Structure 1
């Protein structure tokens, strides 16, 4: 690699700041109350935050080896597919689309509703009987607003807004830390820190739920996986940047929590997830009215980025034939996957009714960490079977992989036996994913009605959302019984969809499949790197969608 190229790459400090900026987000303003409810005391909650930082460091080092070894988009999905565990990859893709992403979106929108209510309560007297209704109203209003933004791919507006959200994030964190330490050192507010271990909980189920909350706040430590090639001397700088970046984030998170405890007692913190708003109301006087809205801006930015990534993940899965073709539909003018955006929004609204914030975090994190077990095992299989990977892969000591795998297994297994109610949904969806894989993906003897339904829903989506499908698999020709016998044809993504003189009335006449047979085609290979020699099995190319 020449020096000219290196001049345009990030060094240690650039990579470290990238890690810090990506991790610090809405989580620190959402999960402190959840962690305290699960841990019971100030002391245990602080230990949980430290433990989450250590787990994040171990995980980031493992994922750096994965990211530099397997240079493919798709993260966990691509890593699991690399060892040809296609049913497992499909099942967890299914869980991510139906639960993990929607639950994350629901958590952020619900928290936005709580913070907005706390801000309004400082100005207006709100009847407590209407608080839950108002929270849902604010949450859903925000979701619909962000959905509309993503419908039109307002990239310029979104980019500028993300700058504002980042500024709000930095100001909020700095204000809380400075204010808390001011009241501790200059006002002598220390009574809440005197008995740090009172009412501590040590049962494994509660502790794992507390770790789920902390690890949700640390999400984003795998960011360098997506840009290792843009860093100078990655074998040296990437591990150091991760280590230093996560340590800085941990210090900021712990400082914010200590600031909370300086001003608020344990019972007050447990009572509301909008803890920053309560903190500001007690310490910042008149200025406290602005804090909930400042954090609301931050949450809006976080919600926008999560809906963007969730919808694109769903779109990418549909484009490769793993989901119905309607979810691959994009608007030609804005290139927005409108059907996927709409689906993620509706799923988030629905999942917000099945549990409180603590449960939603648990739903999200259980699926997330269950997938990581298989990702880590796949990495160990690659190491022990010496499966060829990229020549410039960054290798980590095996003990790091084993340590992270043990922690991951503990985080997944304990809730199954002690907090089954929060794992049941993930297990059910994962099981359905396996069934759907063998029925709809692996099978090559499907009733033709499935192809008819796929084309019908795709055409409806095209009309309702003003979009065209973008699929890489070929599905059967479906004849529309119109006067001119025009044809609806799903073809390669470059040709989009051929729709000739169709109208909504013709949708009801999609019946003639007698002339059609499924066309078997190979799924686009995830392993396109010239140094990879893994070849997909032919069985995985049998697609329904």
Structure 2
């Protein structure tokens, strides 16, 4: 699709969709602004995106995976700190990439720049058909479960009620991201403060207990009798999963105000806050619960609140639900930009790189995940799909950071306003590939299935992208799809 539909107005006259073309031929909305994505992500909004996505439901529900595999309270805290440092290494590597490649799209864009279109398309394909719909459905299910929990206490929440609440949550997040970039960012800031408040509700009473002398659970914290060194890689795997999300600001680089300064600063501040909160929250848990009690709990924050706060513990599920909603909102905001950029590069239908003429949001790119997410929610085995795909996340993140090292040697003159010491990406890259091999070793069947699903991107690349002479029926279908969606959604190509 081109500007045929969009630029119907001439010499400043309004067209039917509320846009106008100025005498110079640039498309504008009725307020005289160019149709495009503005630089609306400030430092505070950048921090809220990163923290808001990283802190999901996990820290409130079940940090027991790390304790189980590390074997002792002391070692579990070491793992939480170590995972924070490793995540910071990855985040700093992405900060360098975000300041020298000033395009949105995150993983996809960096793989495209370093290793070419085929590898980038395979990454995009895996994200689109499985990884992101499943991940969105899972975090949304947690939202549905915990938003209804206070209404049904002490009974279990009916599964269909959870799915209906989840569907409402997904739809509301899609609607918010479709309507306004500014309001999406503002609400993300509010939700991030709610998450930090929720963690404060746990940390402050926990520290009070600690200063009162409730330290019995920390005695022999590093008892080596229970430490299982062979389980440490699995403990780090669980920890790195809890920290995942530090890369999302790189998905919206083009919308970041002064990215050379904002991206590295937002990443460093966010990782310092998240690591501190995670460690202090776990310390707070252990002031009230023994290792055995924590391992036996299905929802650690709820158990903690019941022990210390009595009836006030009913607010904890609401905080968890708000935390999940913030993760849903922030991740959708970032991911839509990856699909927007992929369409601009020709790897998705053209309509996904178009902007709503009045709302100035990438409406089609926001909605692209909606059908598949809802389908998985009601029909699919989401958790199995996530097991298939969990290793692919670290494989491709490792490939991205490997691309940073590769670009250091192939493009040494590329401007790098922010540059990290080489050992940082090397250590992080090795960590990612180690976690990939760990997945292959511990669960070869599910990992193999996930790898096979991603490899279906190779024939898709040659059918839809590589061959210039597509079958006429396929080209007509793509043209019809672009034209119909453009008219229905009232979107037009963005002005450069």
Q: Distance in 2 between matches of 1:187 and 1:107?
A: 39
CA deviation vs aligned residue, 1:86-138 (integer Å, no higher than 9, x gap):
211111122223334333322321221232243334xx442x4x543333232
Relative distance call for 1:255 and 1:73 in structure 2 (3 A) is same
In structure 1, the partner of 2:243 is 215
Choose from 67, 76, 79 the match for 2:107. 76
Relative distance call for 1:421 and 1:172 in structure 2 (3 A) is farther
In structure 2, the partner of 1:467 is 489
CA contact under 8 A between 1:172 and 1:294: conserved in structure 2?
yes
Deviation larger for 439-448 or 324-333: 324-333
Q: Distance in 1 between matches of 2:245 and 2:76?
A: 13
In structure 2, the partner of 1:286 is 311
In structure 2, the partner of 1:518 is none
Q: Distance in 1 between matches of 2:106 and 2:386?
A: 21
Choose from 166, 187, 198 the match for 1:172. 198
Instruction: State whether structure 2 residue 476 is matched by structure 1 residue 452.
Output: yes
In structure 2, the partner of 1:101 is 132
In structure 1, the partner of 2:281 is 256
Shift of 1:199: 6.4
Instruction: State whether structure 2 residue 300 is matched by structure 1 residue 300.
Output: no
CA contact under 8 A between 2:104 and 2:341: conserved in structure 1?
no
CA contact under 8 A between 1:118 and 1:278: conserved in structure 2?
no
In structure 2, the partner of 1:141 is 168
CA deviation vs aligned residue, 1:170-203 (integer Å, no higher than 9, x gap):
3212111011122333373744876676866534
CA deviation vs aligned residue, 1:464-500 (integer Å, no higher than 9, x gap):
xx224646xxxxxxxxxxxxxxxxxxxxx67xxxxxx
CA contact under 8 A between 2:102 and 2:253: conserved in structure 1?
no
- Trace 1:333-348 onto structure 2 (pairs within 5 A): 333-348=358-373
Shift of 1:26: 5.5
Bigger Rg over Cα: 1
Structure 1: gaps (5+ residues): 1-13, 472-492, 495-523, 525-545
Relative distance call for 1:367 and 1:349 in structure 2 (3 A) is farther
In structure 2, the partner of 1:374 is 399
CA deviation vs aligned residue, 1:73-94 (integer Å, no higher than 9, x gap):
3333232222352211111122
CA deviation vs aligned residue, 1:114-173 (integer Å, no higher than 9, x gap):
32243334xx442x4x5433332322221122223334x145644543343233123212
- The size of the alignment, in residue pairs, is 446
More helix by share: 2
Deviation larger for 81-90 or 196-205: 196-205
Relative distance call for 1:399 and 1:388 in structure 2 (3 A) is same
Q: Which has the higher contact order (CA 8 A, sep 6+)?
A: 2
In structure 2, the partner of 1:50 is 81
CA contact under 8 A between 2:253 and 2:259: conserved in structure 1?
no
Shift of 1:255: 0.5
CA contact under 8 A between 1:168 and 1:295: conserved in structure 2?
no
In structure 2, the partner of 1:181 is 207
CA deviation vs aligned residue, 1:307-351 (integer Å, no higher than 9, x gap):
232233223323432113454565434344444433312323344
- Trace 1:119-134 onto structure 2 (pairs within 5 A): 119-121=150-152, 124-126=153-155, 128=156, 130-134=157-161
TM-score w.r.t. structure 1 length?
0.70
Shift of 1:21: 4.5
Shift of 1:418: 1.7
Relative distance call for 1:246 and 1:326 in structure 2 (3 A) is closer
CA contact under 8 A between 1:205 and 1:419: conserved in structure 2?
no
TM-score w.r.t. structure 2 length?
0.76
CA deviation vs aligned residue, 1:236-289 (integer Å, no higher than 9, x gap):
x958x8656534431221001121233345565456664333322332223322
CA contact under 8 A between 1:19 and 1:223: conserved in structure 2?
no
CA contact under 8 A between 2:49 and 2:248: conserved in structure 1?
yes
Structure 2: gaps (5+ residues): 1-41
Q: Distance in 1 between matches of 2:53 and 2:297?
A: 16
- Trace 1:364-403 onto structure 2 (pairs within 5 A): 365-390=390-415, 392-403=416-427
CA deviation vs aligned residue, 1:450-473 (integer Å, no higher than 9, x gap):
11221233345356xx224646xx
- Describe the SS at the equivalent of 1:24: helix
Relative distance call for 1:200 and 1:345 in structure 2 (3 A) is farther
Q: Distance in 1 between matches of 2:309 and 2:318?
A: 14
In structure 2, the partner of 1:67 is 98
Q: Distance in 1 between matches of 2:294 and 2:283?
A: 12
